[in-house]
Amino acid sequence: MSGKKANRSIHKYEEALSASAGQITLQFDMDCVHDFRTTVKKLRALLRWLSSVKKPLTKSFAAIYHLSGELRNAQVLLKDTEAEKEALEGFRNWLNVSITRLEEQWYKTYDRRIIQRLCKKIERSGYQKGEWETIRRFCRKRVNRIRGILYLSPPPDEEMHNARKMLKDMLYVYEWGEKNKLVDEGPELATLKHISHQAGRFNDQRIAILLLTTYLEEEKPEGSSLHTVLDIRQKWEESADKQKKELIGALTGFVENNKWH
């Protein structure tokens, strides 16, 4: 595959980034935030695969990407706790205040020139030839990293999140390679998608517990409200423990059966 073809794909992602970032500024819609973050992940995966630059994102862009993640976490959790609206009234109010603060921070931080500078940095970096062998090396490296994480007993939650990032990198590069007829063997896309989704659900639960704990530390609810929140946190922690065990099992099977040795 020629560098010209890769450059066209990367340029499309750059255009999509500008469009989705503009939509966030207009309305802070949850789907717009999701589209922005997914586009970043796809672009970053291609750059990690094809570019010789170790850190393809600029610092200013990484800052707004991190900010969009905080916003996304609060938005998703607010939606997911709709069923517990009354029991978690204080927490939901806290989330709403957090969302407003993050939106104001986005207004202050985001500038179209941030993406323009990112695009210039990308254009200055050269691309290696995209082919099946480079995809295989890219994926093998990440499988080995996941294997290393699984050697930890048990793997810390943050390392499980790192494993999820590696799964996403493989998924997007493999998906792109299949679309451009570079892939001729390896795990089915469905396998990568399934485990990535499983890792995403665990990470969402982990983030929910962290945010609920932060709320408890900052707001210090008392009486029956405190007991209710503590009961819900315990339920979430039990769910996260179960999800983590299942994810470790799925990752172990994936590492043992991959064809990127």
Position 187 scores a pLDDT of 64
CATH class, 1-129 region: mainly alpha
Contact indicator for 124, 169 with CB cutoff of 8 Å: no
* Residues 227-250: tens digit of each pLDDT: 999 999 999 999 999 999 999 999
Residue 118: both structure tokens together: 């990112």
Give the predicted TM-score (pTM) of the model: 0.91
Q: What residue spans define the domains of the chain?
A: 1-129, 131-261
What the block records as the tokens of 241 is 């423990």
Contacts 24+ apart (CB under 8 A), 126-130: 126/3, 126/51, 126/52, 127/3, 127/6, 127/7, 127/50, 127/51, 128/50, 128/51, 128/52, 129/1, 129/2, 129/3, 130/1, 130/3, 130/5, 130/6, 130/49, 130/50, 130/177, 130/180, 130/182
HSE at residue 49, side-chain half, CA atoms within 13 A, is: 33
- Nearest Cα neighbor of 29 from 116, 83, 126, 106 is 106
How far is it, in rounded angstroms, from Cα 77 to Cα 20? 21
Whether the predicted pLDDT of 3 surpasses 60: no
pLDDT score of 237 = 97
Tell me the per-residue pLDDT of 65-74, one tens digit each, with 9 for 90 and over.
999 999 999 9
Instruction: Indicate the pLDDT class of residue 62, thresholds 50, 70 and 90.
Output: very high
More confident residue, 191 or 126: 191
Q: What is the pLDDT of residues 74-109, one digit of tens each?
A: 999 999 999 988 899 999 999 999 999 999 999 999
Which one, of 112, 114, 82, lies nearest residue 96 by Cα?
Answer: 82
pLDDT number for residue 4 = 62
Share of the chain above pLDDT 70, in %: 95
User: Mean pLDDT lowest for which of 1-5, 37-41, 98-102, 104-108?
Assistant: 1-5
Q: What is the pLDDT of residue 10?
A: 83
Report in angstroms the alpha-carbon separations of 221 from 89, 91, 225: 11, 9, 6
The predicted pLDDT at position 5 comes to 67
Please measure the distance between the N-terminal and C-terminal CA atoms of the chain and give it in whole angstroms.
23
